[in-house]
């Protein structure tokens, strides 16, 4: 069966087609700058690339262009739309309602809409993608895969904040966590690589990209994660500040910064970009650091330190750690940063093998010393495949055996 994976953003539409249960990607595409007259659609199929620039005023039009690209006579992925037997949607926020992926019905749509106040930038676009997909593929089962679902196993001690309880009960303020689909996927691959059962394995998964989060996984369940009520909390990221003293906001307000200024600063002008003054791209900062730029050097050390601090805290709470996983653009590709992070973690049983680390590079593999009590793994994430797996097994329960 062929599964179409949809990731619908406010001005973009990503899609990929998977053949299941073989887990083979048949091709993928991206439509960018929706709403503008110079939108771009690009699609990769085998070794061929289809690209076109045109006006795409809205998401309905974007879906029409997607179908045109999927069925293109020379570069298309499908011979007809009837080949699609299911659609999997990335949905950012499922609130407390969903701890796993679900078949979309009227109740699910209402829940996604009810959670718009928790994810105002993402859930509306995700809903649009679902509605347009239902129009394009009438009668085809649609599945919602929530970024927050994996973290619904957090205990109250991990998800509650030290504020009046009424704020949780009335306004739903709690730690939700994000990147759940990625953490779940790489944890499953790690178990396969280590040849271990989830029942007796504890992992710390580090999704390090422009957005970054760390998750503590005990016996297959998320028990803590660094992102919180929003994706702003936790690690320092490409442009997000991560953890900071809340009083800083009040201090800056007293000096003339309004809500919109602060929102933009903390989400778009902080993190690697703000601290280095150079770029949100770690590669640019590493280049500047090698050339002697002090701000770049301090930024790299701060980034690594914040990650080490979370790893140490999670290791203490898990009691024993069997594996550390690096994934995401930085986690997978930044060889030197992996070494920076693992430096000084030997006291908690994390011993990196520098030669293996360099040899693995941006691929997949185990990079710890043979004597390291904690295995260190590099695993490329594949959220689209995880969404396809979820969709296929929900639509056809007989495929349960392929779930990662």
Asked if the peptide bond before residue 309 counts as cis, ω within 30 degrees of 0, the response is no
Q: Which residue in 23, 22, 24, 21 sits closest to 45, CA to CA? A: 24
- Give helix 335-342 / helix 282-290 axis angle, nearest 10°: 80
Whole-number Å distance between alpha carbons of 332 and 318: 24
In the three-class reduction of DSSP (H, G, I as helix; E, B as strand; rest coil), residue 13 is classed as strand
CA distance 127 to 140: 16
Find tokens 């069997």 and name the residue: 322
Residues whose CB falls within 8 Å of the CB of residue 178, separated by 6 or more in sequence, listed in order:
92, 147, 148, 151, 211, 213, 225, 227, 231
Give the span between the Cα atoms of 304 and 276, in whole angstroms. 14
CA distance 395 to 204: 31
Concatenate the DSSP letters of all residues of 303-363 into one string.
Answer: HHHHHHHHHHHHHHHHS---EEEEEHHHHHH-HHHHHHHHTT-GGGTB-B-HHHHHHHTTS
Angle (deg, nearest 10), helices 106-114 and 123-136: 160
- The catalytic position among 147, 224, 322, 390 is 147
CA angle, residues 199, 205, 207, in degrees to nearest 5: 150
Cβ(253)–Cβ(262) under 8 Å? yes
- Which tokens belong to 401? 């055996």
- Whether 199 is a known active-site residue: answer no
**Distance of alpha carbon 258 from alpha carbon 264, whole angstroms:** 10
Active site residues: 147
């Amino acid at each position: 069966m062929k599964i179409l994976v949809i990731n619908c953003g406010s001005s973009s539409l990503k899609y990929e087609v998977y053949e299941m249960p073989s887990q083979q990607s048949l091709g993928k595409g991206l439509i960018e700058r929706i709403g503008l007259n110079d939108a771009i659609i690009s699609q990769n199929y085998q070794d061929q690339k289809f690209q076109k620039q045109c006006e795409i005023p809205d998401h309905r039009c974007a879906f029409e262009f997607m179908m045109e690209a999927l069925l293109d006579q020379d570069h298309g992925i499908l011979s007809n739309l009837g080949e699609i037997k299911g659609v999997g949607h990335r949905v950012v926020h499922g609130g407390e309602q969903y701890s796993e992926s679900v078949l979309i019905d009227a109740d699910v749509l209402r829940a996604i809409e009810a959670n718009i106040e928790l994810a105002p930038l993402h859930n509306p676009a995700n809903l649009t993608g679902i509605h347009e997909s239902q129009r394009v593929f009438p009668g085809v089962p649609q599945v919602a895969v929530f970024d927050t679902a994996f973290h619904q196993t957090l205990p109250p001690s991990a998800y509650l904040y030290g504020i009046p309880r009424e704020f949780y009960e009335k306004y739903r303020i709690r730690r939700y966590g994000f990147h759940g689909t990625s953490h779940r996927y790489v944890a499953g691959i790690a178990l396969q690589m280590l040849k271990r059962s989830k029942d007796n394995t504890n992992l710390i998964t580090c999704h390090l990209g422009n957005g970054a989060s760390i998750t503590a996984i005990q016996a297959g369940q998320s028990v803590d994660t660094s992102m919180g009520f929003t994706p702003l909390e936790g690690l320092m990221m490409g442009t997000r500040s991560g953890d900071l003293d809340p009083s800083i906001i009040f201090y800056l307000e007293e000096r003339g910064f309004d809500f919109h200024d602060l929102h933009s600063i903390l989400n778009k002008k902080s993190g690697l970009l703000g601290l280095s003054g150079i770029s949100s791209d770690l590669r640019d900062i590493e280049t500047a650091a090698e050339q002697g730029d002090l701000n770049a050097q301090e930024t790299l050390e701060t980034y690594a330190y914040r990650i080490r601090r979370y790893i140490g805290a999670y290791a203490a709470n898990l009691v024993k750690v069997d594996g550390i996983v690096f994934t995401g653009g930085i986690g997978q590709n930044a060889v030197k940063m992996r070494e920076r992070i693992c430096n000084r973690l030997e006291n908690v049983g994390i011993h990196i093998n520098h030669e293996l680390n360099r040899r693995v590079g941006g691929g997949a593999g185990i990079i710890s010393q043979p004597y390291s009590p904690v295995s260190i793994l590099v695993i490329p994430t594949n959220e689209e495949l995880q969404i396809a797996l979820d969709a296929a097994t929900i639509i056809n329960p007989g495929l349960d055996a392929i779930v990662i």
